Amino acid sequence: MQGGDLSEEVFAKFREFIYKVAGIQIPETKKVMVANRLRRRLRATGIDDFAGYFTFLTSPSGPLEMPLFLNEFTTNETYFYRYIHHFDWLNEEFFLQIAEQGRLRKRPRTLRIWSAASSTGEELYSIALRLQPLRQLFSGWTITLLGTDLSTATLDSARAGVYDERAVRHVSPPERTRYFDHDPRTQRWTIKEEIRNQTTWKSHNLMRPLIEEPFDCIFIKNVLIYFDTKSKQAVTRHLLKSLAPAGYLVVGPTEGIYNMLEPLEKRRPWLYQNASH
């Protein structure tokens, strides 16, 4: 078996390294899982053992390998309209509120939304789909829909916009007909180019600040469950700095950061607003 056994010493080095660069905690009980995923990178790089791969990864040549290494340790299970009430709030309240503020010249005619752990794109495309029926309210506006993820592989999938039946199971038949192309042979659904062209995708590590203009709404869901308290605090600081005055933060139920959002005002159990105006 390529790589041999993963020693406790080298396993500890990988666990520490993954935590340092990504804020993700790998339990001590996951040595077999880590070894199996590392073996894929050993085969790809031609390196014979785990210690040699760690040396390579932390060498001056390591940055080129880093995205591929991290791809092995990010979990990316999601689907369209996960937590449907978040998306109902978008088209029933948020979009209408923003459009009215623009009409009354109380804000610039710009709208910026960030899916901060976009995985394979279902969340950001769900946001885009909810925006489509209201597009006439935003005629002449500059709209940015940004999806970021640590994994370059999932971002490539997001850009392609191809999904199986399970991923689109909560998408209504009219939306499927209007916004997707269906391949009956493979039973795959490809989101139409007009929707894909409304989105932007970027690799980003949540442990670092995002160098972008502030956002009117940020979604952070289904990622921080893997982070410890210190890492969550760092991510939360970066998110708050990226939130525009009066902007909204939509938080998933597993993130465990509710007690870190004191600067924001709670609007719903999962919805917080920047109190500064």
CA pair distance 250, 229, nearest whole angstrom: 19
What pTM did the predictor assign?
Answer: 0.83
Report the candidate in 244, 246, 245 with the shortest Cα–Cα distance to residue 212: 244
Residue 276 DSSP symbol: -
pLDDT tens, residue by residue, 36-92: 989 989 998 999 899 999 999 999 888 778 878 887 877 666 899 999 999 999 999
3-state secondary structure of 63: helix
CA pair distance 136, 186, nearest whole angstrom: 35
Report the candidate in 216, 207, 212, 259 with the shortest Cα–Cα distance to residue 237: 207
CA pair distance 179, 194, nearest whole angstrom: 8
User: With contact defined as beta carbons under 8 Å apart, do 257 and 236 qualify?
Assistant: yes
CATH numbers and ranges of domains, the chain: 8-71 (1.10.155.10), 84-159+198-274 (3.40.50.150)
Sign of CA dihedral 202, 207, 209, 213: positive
Output the pLDDT for position 78: 84
CA pair distance 140, 51, nearest whole angstrom: 56
Q: In what order do the strands lie in the sheet with 162-163?
A: 162-163, 188-191, 180-183
Catalytic residue numbers, as ranges: 37, 149
User: With contact defined as beta carbons under 8 Å apart, do 239 and 233 qualify?
Assistant: no
Output the pLDDT for position 256: 87
Q: What is the mean pLDDT of the chain?
A: 92
Residue 165 DSSP symbol: T
Contacts of 220 (CB under 8 A, 6+ apart): 116, 117, 235, 239, 249, 250, 251, 252, 255, 257
What one-letter code names the amino acid at 231? S
* Residue ranges in the chain whose pLDDT is less than 50: none
User: With contact defined as beta carbons under 8 Å apart, do 10 and 51 qualify?
Assistant: yes
CA pair distance 115, 127, nearest whole angstrom: 9
